[in-house]
Amino acid sequence: MLAALASRYPGLRINPTIDLTPRLLSDLDAGEFDVILVGAQVLTTTNPMINLGSVRYYWMGRPPVGGSERPLGVHDLQAHQIITWSKQAALHRPIGEWFIAHGSYPKEPITCNSALTMAAMAAAGLGVSLLPVELVQRELAEGRLVIIPVEPEFEPVEYKAVYASRRDTLGKIVATTAREISTFDKKPRQPDKSE
């Protein structure tokens, strides 16, 4: 996306910041950012947003975790150490609610605020984690991680470009460009709250 913006707007300066969704939303509201790109199953903001699409997350671990072609139930995951998002992350609560809705809850999960670190921990055999395939393609191809079939599946995570309505059109330009080049699944799930 940065290359597309640089090509279209040669004088534009972008200063990317990578952080957890709640902090990014807070900083957007405080005027620190013109636009943020975030993923969450539930996103509450008064700012306009543009849907970038959704990404399906899968439970993964180091082989031979899972052990059969029969999908595991949510309760079966408790036999494994769960590596999940920290409480400050937007996905922490939906993952906990997913377990609870299916009569389970992981005992003493390992929490982390980096998907790459969770993937490395799962590939090292320290537990299982809920990850997007796009993040771990190399680990899957090399056989260091496998997808664990689980039923029911975790709902796809929606990604949005949220821009400050108090500013000029810069945030909207970046948000619109992000939508144009996004490779996420764009099947509509819920209406956008945009201008």
189 in a structural domain = no
186 in a structural domain = no
Per-residue pLDDT at 106: 83
- The answer to whether residues 166 and 195 touch, using CB atoms and an 8 Å cutoff, is no
- Look at the chain and report how many structural domains it folds into: 2
**90 lies in the same domain as 29:** no
**73 lies in the same domain as 42:** no
Per-residue pLDDT at 68: 63
**147 lies in the same domain as 169:** no
- The answer to whether residues 91 and 111 touch, using CB atoms and an 8 Å cutoff, is no
CATH number of 124's domain? 3.40.190.10
**95 lies in the same domain as 83:** yes
**The dihedral of CA 151, 59, 85, 159: what is its sign?**
negative
**124 lies in the same domain as 167:** no
Structure tokens at 145: 């991680």
**137 lies in the same domain as 165:** no
**134 lies in the same domain as 117:** yes
Domain around 83: 57-151
pLDDT in tens, the chain (195 residues): 888 888 888 888 888 898 888 889 999 989 899 999 998 877 788 889 999 999 999 999 998 876 667 888 888 888 899 999 998 888 898 999 999 999 998 889 999 989 999 999 999 999 999 999 999 999 999 999 999 999 999 999 999 999 988 766 788 888 999 999 998 887 654 444 444
Give CA–CA dist 2/24, Å, rounded. Answer: 18
Per-residue pLDDT at 191: 41
* CA distances, 34 to each of 3, 29, 77, 163, 166 (Å): 18, 9, 40, 6, 9
Report strand pairing: 49-55 vs 82-85. unpaired
40 - beta bridge partners? 158
Give CA–CA dist 162/155, Å, rounded. Answer: 21
**96 lies in the same domain as 75:** yes
Per-residue pLDDT at 190: 44
